Structure 1
Amino acid sequence: MPTKRIAQIVHLKPSAVKAYKECHANVWPEVLQQIEECNIKDYSIFFDNDKTLFATFKYVGEDFEADMLRMKANPKVREWWGLTDGMQESLTPGAVGSAEGPSWWKVLDEVFYKE
């Protein structure tokens, strides 16, 4: 199964920059474990020091949709998303949160890749 590379963006509320960086310096172990169990590798989040968060990761599993449903079903992950979603502003029309509706983070199209 080929690796699927995914990139996403969301805006960070200016009032939440410090808190967002602090909570990501100490991500809950249950969240990290679920990320691993859902076949996500090389996960990074970058901040442009203005308002945009840019995330990138590799999906190495066989059923992305099923793994994302497993991620959403984890109560600790949903709690984490409740915390972090409140610090962000989605760019996806109709998004209401990470746990429901359209993707909270806007997925980007890959236009170039060189290994």
Structure 2
Amino acid sequence: MGPVRRIAQIVHLKPSAVAAYKECHANVWPEVLQQIKDCNIKDYSIFFDNDRTLFATFKYVGTDFEGDMELMRANPKIREWWAMTDGMQDSPIPGAVSSADGPGWWKVLDEVFYTE
């Protein structure tokens, strides 16, 4: 296991999708949960500011982040999940296409402070 890497991201939720987004995340598909685990992601949380911003945070505990993200993108069930959830969101990334393709979907944030 490599050093823990903390990652935080944001994306915007469409107002019309709040209930559906919360519902699908209350019943995340088992294949999605397994792939997250298999890609060395721990302590994954998504928060909603009850306006429009979703804030996600997780710890990456593997040694090949890009390789693990390629494995994630290659999983057809993950791509199906992302197609569903991307339709509920507006990306803050200029030129964003989807979670599976393009320059990214969730905007990665810079960490400016941390304490244990």
Q: For residues 42 and 88 of structure 2, what CA distance do their matches in structure 1 show?
A: 24
Q: Secondary structure at the match of 1:55?
A: strand
Q: For residues 103 and 34 of structure 2, what CA distance do their matches in structure 1 show?
A: 24
Alignment match, 1:90:
91
Scaled by the length of structure 1, the TM-score of the pair is: 0.99
Alignment match, 2:80:
79
Give runs of aligned pairs for residues 1-115 of structure 1, distance below 5 A.
Answer: 1-115=2-116
Structure 2: segments with no counterpart, 5+ residues: none
State the Cα deviation string for residues 11-65 of structure 1 (Å, max 9, x = none). 0000000000000000000000000000000000000000000000000000000
Offset at residue 103 of structure 1 (A) = 1.2
Q: Secondary structure at the match of 1:33?
A: helix
Structure 1: segments with no counterpart, 5+ residues: none
Alignment: residue pair count: 115
CA RMSD of aligned residues (A): 0.3
Offset at residue 2 of structure 1 (A) = 1.0
State the Cα deviation string for residues 61-105 of structure 1 (Å, max 9, x = none). 000000000000000000000000000000001110000011100
Q: For residues 8 and 103 of structure 1, what CA distance do their matches in structure 2 show?
A: 11
